[in-house]
Amino acid sequence: MAEQATRKRQEKVGQVVSTKMAKTVVVEVSRRVPHPLYRRIVTKRAKFYAHDEKGLAKLGDRVRIVETRPLSKLKRWRLAEVIWRAHQVKVEPSEI
């Protein structure tokens, strides 16, 4: 019997910062780590392109993304779930 690799897929939680592409969202993941020399806590950020087939995620939403096979040049993640929704503020044209 051939042994299959049962690898646990990596997951990340971040905030949607762009939804301007079709079926793709940009998710910014922040983490707080101590500086290697000065031991001060610094915030590091990374952006990941994630596949959003149904267009569920909106700007500002907190989402969970899961590692997947390469889908394009930059997309290696897919949207697993929307953890919580951001408040969408509607601006009337007369207010501008």
Please write the tens of the pLDDT for every residue from 9-65.
Answer: 899 999 999 999 999 999 999 999 999 999 999 999 999 999 999 999 999 999 999
Looking at the chain, the whole-number percentage of residues with pLDDT higher than 90 is: 79
- Whether 52 contacts 64, CB under 8 Å: no
Measure Cα distances from 75 to 1, 24, 54 in Å.
Answer: 34, 8, 16
For the chain, the C-alpha Rg in angstroms (whole number) is 17
Which two structure tokens, joined as six digits, stand for 76? 């290696």
pLDDT for res 95:
66
- Domains belonging to the chain, first-starting first, are 11-87 (2.40.50.140)
